[in-house]
Structure 1
């Protein structure tokens, strides 16, 4: 475990990408929300939601792509095993997501205390999340960050294994699968049933258990590729 923590500290060499930039974005979200409201003429338009959290997920996860493409070759040069690096990556991803989730809970509390930043805007306590308490909120904020981070880790591993060709094929293949499923769902009229099913799920399932399952699956796939990745 000590070795894993040491390798995790190596990954934190680019801490601005992992923590500083996401925290800066969170702090700027109320101002960004105000700018969006002003542009839409909604500064006094009653309760409304502004969806900026997906941008935060991508920003928080991007640092892990950098870990796989830059820190991984360096760590192997120091004699770090692939298994240790993978464990350290999982530790960093989890710790970052939990920390940012806690920050989002705090900003959500400020949002409620200020009446939606003084204009009934909701950037953190989104109705779609249906958070019922601080712990549920924390897990609901954490889950998507972990899942998107797993996507970036897998992308970085694919790049290390197959370079640009692998990335192009992965993107095109993923787009083809998603487009094919979308077309099939439309042809079979599955979307109403899918929407009803998702809408009936509790927050912990949609935003914690579901993303965690996705992260575990993608993490397992990343490990299978990482075992043969070269530098």
Structure 2
């Protein structure tokens, strides 16, 4: 375990991308939301939601892509095993998600106490995430960050194993699969059923359990590729 913590600390050398930039974005979200409201002429038009959280997920996940492409070769040169590096990556991903989730809970509390930043805007207390219990709010905020990070970890591992060609093939292949499914769902008229199913799920299922299962599946795929990745 000590070795895993040491490798995690090596990854945290990239702390600006993993922590500082995402935290700065969270702090800036109320101002960004105000800018969006002003540009849309919605400064005082009643309760409304502004969807900036997905941008935070992407920003938080990018640092793990850098860890796989830059830190992984360095640690291999230090004699770190792939298993230890994978465990350290899981530790860093989890810690980052829980920390950012806690910050989002705090900002959500400020948002409620200020009446939606004085204009009934909801950036953090989105309807889909609403939970009465701060602990469940924390978990619901953290889940999507873990899932987004798993995507970037897998992308970094694919790049490390097969370089640009493998990454391009993975991106184009994933896009083709999603486009094919979208076309099939449209043709078969599945979207209302899909929307009804997802809308009937509790937020902890959608934003904690679901993302964690997704992250475990991607993590398993990343491990299979990482075992053969070289520096």
Q: Provide TM-score, normalisation by structure 2.
A: 0.99
Alignment correspondent of 2:107: 107
Q: For 1:66-77, what aligned pairs fall within 5 Å after superposition? A: 66-77=66-77
Q: Which runs of 5 or more residues in structure 2 are unaligned?
A: none
Q: In 1, distance between residues paired with 2:129 and 2:16? A: 28
Q: In 2, distance between residues paired with 1:213 and 1:5? A: 24
Alignment correspondent of 1:178: 178
Q: In 1, distance between residues paired with 2:6 and 2:72? A: 14
Alignment correspondent of 1:123: 123
Q: CA deviation at 1:19?
A: 0.3
Q: CA deviation at 1:147?
A: 0.1
1:19-76 deviations in whole A, cap 9, x for unaligned?
A: 0000000000000000000000011111000000000000000000000000000000
1:125-144 deviations in whole A, cap 9, x for unaligned?
A: 00122323201110010000
Residue correspondences, number: 231
Q: CA deviation at 1:187?
A: 1.2
Alignment correspondent of 2:61: 61
SS at match of 2:164: helix
Q: In 2, distance between residues paired with 1:127 and 1:133? A: 14
Alignment correspondent of 1:222: 222
Alignment correspondent of 1:16: 16
Q: In 2, distance between residues paired with 1:129 and 1:139? A: 10
Alignment correspondent of 2:25: 25
Q: In 2, distance between residues paired with 1:131 and 1:53? A: 16
Alignment correspondent of 2:187: 187
Q: In 2, distance between residues paired with 1:49 and 1:81? A: 46
Alignment correspondent of 1:133: 133
Q: Which runs of 5 or more residues in structure 1 are unaligned?
A: none
Q: For 1:127-166, what aligned pairs fall within 5 Å after superposition? A: 127-166=127-166
Q: Supply the RMSD in Å over aligned alpha carbons.
A: 0.5
Q: Provide TM-score, normalisation by structure 1.
A: 0.99
